[in-house]
Amino acid sequence: MTVTGTGQPVNAAQAPTRHPLDPVTEAEFTVGREVMARAGLVRESTRFAYVGLEEPAKQHVLSGPGGTGCERRLRAFLIDLATGRSSDVVVSLDKGEVVSRRDIDCTKEGQLPILEEDFERIDQAVHNDAAWRAAMEKRGLTDMSKIRTCPLTAGSHVFPGEEGRRMVRVLAFVQEDEADLAWAHPVDGVVAYVDIIEGRVLQLVDDVNLAVPVQSGNYDDEKVSGPPRTTLRPIEISQPEGSSLRVDGHRVDWDRWTLRVGFDAREGLVLYQVCYQDGSRQRPIIYRASVPEMVVPYGDPSPTRFFQAYFDSGEFLLGRYANSLELGCDCLGEITYLDATVTDDYGRPRTIANAICLHEEDFGILWKHTDIFNHSAQTRRQRRLVVSFFCTVGNYDYGFYWYFYLDGTIELEIKLTGVIFTSAYPGPGYRYATEVAPGLGGPYHQHLFSARLDMMVDGVPNAVEEVDVEAPPLGPDNPYGNALVRSVTRLKREGEGRRLAAPAKGRFWQVLSTERANSLGQPAAYALVPQVAPTLLADPSSAIYGRAGFATHHLSVTAYDPAQRYSAGDFVNQHPGGGGLPSYVSGDRAIDGTDIVLWHTFGPTHIPRPEDWPVMPVERCGFSLKPMGFFDRNPALDVAPPARHCHEGSP
């Protein structure tokens, strides 16, 4: 269902014939489950760790009008809770049959994502463990009903007895009452290692007895936040003639832009077939864009926290935790919403209402000039299309915002907010955390996102060039020392395509068509402009470095392969390392003038501040894709002047 800002549903009967890249519907999820059940793959103990669209290969989608003729398939990860046996299944919805099924070697390939049902099983196992209860009582915590367990993925540390087990490591927090913010009261120095399948604690590490912080963090309590300020007057966003946005099924048209909006339980928001209408030509730029993985490695090496590193997509399925957005709170203005459909642990469809927000917004000056010779004074205002969703994974909330501008620029901005993961603060001089409240620590950590950009700049054959800005040495070519030149390096094979940003050189990467040029003879191109921040800071010998190989470079370029969809590999949870991008580039395939995919790592290294507590103001990160010779001149010259004259009403 699509809902406008006025709350009026669009009649589903008006939806066009389904496109092969459209999200899976409730009916399709139901059919897929029935097919697997008929094939004997669904028992009472079977759970569905993931179900999503098995997308047809790009060449099949592009071969016919509207991608007609592509088979609709689902991919499902199944786990038997009685045995831990896991399988990877592909189902044809058109044929009503299982296309393939294979068992997963969890020791070598990794475990399936955490189930929602796992949290209850883990909580029971921990609360029933005598050693854990004794550790709580040693800390003066006798009311076990107030202790909240926090299951965290185990990583891959090859401790004796853990091989092949489906595990988590569990920390704890105290919640005094239903309204209390449990993150304010970490029970530090103790961690339980839990076998999820067996439902028992394998090992308890009780390292140090630290005081549980007691100060309240209830940010929605006026005793903590203070009374609401009264100095701000209302701001109203209105479009008297309605939105310029047009939505037809999952196709979105806005100004010169056309794209398709998809959604996946693992990746969240997915954009397809992003094109710009340039005169009579609809010019492709991106075939598929998503953020298939993110990793949050923590930097506290204590015996009860060293393992903390979460892959929120591959381990927890962040799309599954998308918020239902509210008009006037999450989105402001003339809004169009799209629902998202995912599945529960039993493979049954569940629809998240208003999961995706689409709207346009003013964004200041587009271009402006007051000329000293001809006295022309012209201003045009920038506007952008916003496609976004928000999800909550544990303590953090993440907003993913794709922006499309009138001048052909594309941006991705991720907004990080929520509550920082806390620890007890041992005392002054502790090197691995900031004291954010009395006795409460905010451990240092990173948020490293991986964007997958299946580029298609003016067609499938593309190439990548690394561009640095350099000052030549003083000499005959630079007699006055003021020269600036571009240094361009063509990336020809995957081994050359793993790159680091270089802020001192103003480095960017341009994706260019090897078939089309502009009127000046320059190749049509788009530039990936990074926001430079550190890549993964963990030691190369560490377990997390091996598992998060995608995060060790700002850029990787690979030859297109429809099976290579996830930055850290298909099965991330407890994977021993080397999966995903490091394995993708090992073949050193050609990437010059062929079908290529860009993988871009970005995100903040977070040194928490007291100002980040008890709820964190939004932190932003992202990147830009800017036309670089894609157009012959400024493509926004024809934007109309503001509806009201700029000087009207001025004193």
User: Helix, strand, coil % (nearest 5) of the chain?
Assistant: 15, 40, 45
Q: Please state the domain extents for the chain.
A: 2-104, 116-225, 246-627
> In this predicted model, what pLDDT tens digit does every residue of 464-487 receive, in sequence order?
999 999 999 999 999 999 999 999
Q: What is the mean pLDDT of residues 638-645?
A: 83
Is the peptide bond prior to 614 cis by the omega test (within 30 degrees of 0)? yes
> In this predicted model, what pLDDT tens digit does every residue of 585-615 receive, in sequence order?
999 999 999 999 999 999 999 999 999 999 9
- pLDDT at 328 (0 to 100): 85
Beta bridge partners of 388: 357, 401
Nearest to 214 by CA among 266, 140, 271: 140
> In this predicted model, what pLDDT tens digit does every residue of 261-283 receive, in sequence order?
999 999 999 999 999 999 999 99
Kindly state the tokens that stand for 473: 């040495």
Q: What is the mean pLDDT of residues 621-631?
A: 98
Rounded distance between C-alpha atoms, residue 163 and residue 195, angstroms: 11
- pLDDT at 17 (0 to 100): 61
Residue 163, amino acid: E
Q: Which residues of 385-397 are buried (b: 16+ CB within 10 A; e: fewer)?
A: bbbbbbbebbebb
Q: Is the confidence at residue 6, as pLDDT, over 70?
A: no
Q: Is the confidence at residue 617, as pLDDT, over 80?
A: yes
State which fold the 246-627 domain adopts.
Answer: Beta-galactosidase; Chain A, domain 5 (2.70.98)
Q: Which helix (H) or strand (E) holds 523?
A: strand 523-530
- 51 touches 343 (CB < 8 A): yes
> In this predicted model, what pLDDT tens digit does every residue of 226-265 receive, in sequence order?
999 999 999 888 899 999 999 999 999 999 999 999 999 9
∠ CA 359-267-29, rounded to 5°: 95
Q: Is the confidence at residue 8, as pLDDT, over 70?
A: no
Say which residues have a Cβ less than 8 Å from residue 391's Cβ, sequence separation at least 6.
268, 318, 319, 321, 322, 323, 397, 398, 400
Of 1.20.1510.10, 3.30.70.1060, 3.10.450.40, 3.20.20.70, the CATH number of 2-104 is 3.10.450.40
Q: What is the mean pLDDT of residues 377-389?
A: 97
Q: Which helix (H) or strand (E) holds 130?
A: helix 130-138
Q: Is the confidence at residue 649, as pLDDT, over 80?
A: no
- pLDDT at 39 (0 to 100): 98
- pLDDT at 103 (0 to 100): 98
- 175 touches 182 (CB < 8 A): yes
Catalytically active residues, by annotation: 312, 396
- pLDDT at 45 (0 to 100): 98
**Treating both helix axes as pointing N-terminal to C-terminal, what angle do 130-138 and 116-127 enclose, rounded to 10 degrees?**
70
Residue 131 confidence class, pLDDT cut points 50, 70, 90: very high
Q: Is the confidence at residue 65, as pLDDT, over 90?
A: no
> In this predicted model, what pLDDT tens digit does every residue of 411-457 receive, in sequence order?
999 999 999 999 999 999 999 999 999 999 999 999 999 999 999 99
- Residue 115, sorted as left (phi over 0), alpha (psi -120 to 50) or beta, turns out to be beta
Distance, C-alpha 330 to centroid of its chain:
18
Residue 329 confidence class, pLDDT cut points 50, 70, 90: confident
Kindly state the tokens that stand for 417: 């907010």
- Using a pLDDT cut of 90, give the percent of the chain over it: 92
Q: Is the confidence at residue 323, as pLDDT, over 80?
A: yes
Rounded distance between C-alpha atoms, residue 289 and residue 453, angstroms: 5
Residue 4 confidence class, pLDDT cut points 50, 70, 90: very low
Residue 47 confidence class, pLDDT cut points 50, 70, 90: very high
Residue 16 confidence class, pLDDT cut points 50, 70, 90: very low
List alpha helices for 220-295, DSSP H. Answer: 222-225
Rounded distance between C-alpha atoms, residue 612 and residue 609, angstroms: 5
Kindly state the tokens that stand for 225: 């936040």
Mean pLDDT of the chain: 95
- Strands lying side by side in the sheet with 200-206: 147-153, 167-174, 186-195, 200-206
**Beta-carbon count within 10 A of 158 CB:** 9
SS (H, E, C) 28-90: HHHHHHHHHHHCCCCCCCEEEEEEEECCCCHHHHHHCHHHCCCCCEEEEEEEECCCCCEEEEE
- pLDDT at 505 (0 to 100): 97
Q: What is the mean pLDDT of residues 144-168?
A: 95
> In this predicted model, what pLDDT tens digit does every residue of 348-358 receive, in sequence order?
999 999 999 99
- pLDDT at 11 (0 to 100): 32
Rounded distance between C-alpha atoms, residue 556 and residue 551, angstroms: 10
List alpha helices for 523-614, DSSP H. Answer: 543-547, 581-584
- Tokens 């299982």 found at: 98
- pLDDT at 644 (0 to 100): 64
Rounded distance between C-alpha atoms, residue 559 and residue 466, angstroms: 17
Q: Is the confidence at residue 340, as pLDDT, over 60?
A: yes
- 168 touches 151 (CB < 8 A): yes
Residue 327 confidence class, pLDDT cut points 50, 70, 90: confident
Q: Is the confidence at residue 13, as pLDDT, over 60?
A: no
* Domain 2-104 matches domain 116-225 at the CATH topology level: yes
- pLDDT at 69 (0 to 100): 75
Q: How far is CA 223 from CA 96, 179, 219, 474, in A?
A: 59, 13, 9, 65
∠ CA 424-392-422, rounded to 5°: 5
Beta bridge partners of 557: 598
Residue 643 confidence class, pLDDT cut points 50, 70, 90: confident
- Torsion on CA atoms 624, 630, 634, 635, rounded to nearest 10: -90
- pLDDT at 66 (0 to 100): 64
Kindly state the tokens that stand for 525: 């191109």
Domain 116-225 has CATH 3.60.10.10: no
Q: How far is CA 462 from CA 286, 542, 585, 596, in A?
A: 11, 36, 17, 7
DSSP secondary structure of 279-320: TTEEEEEEEEEEEEEEEEEB---STTTTT-EEETTTTT-GGG
Rounded distance between C-alpha atoms, residue 244 and residue 531, angstroms: 30
Question: For the chain, give me the number of helices (H) and strands (E)?
Answer: 8, 33
Q: Is the confidence at residue 1, as pLDDT, over 80?
A: no
Q: What is the mean pLDDT of residues 30-34?
A: 98
Rounded distance between C-alpha atoms, residue 74 and residue 268, angstroms: 16
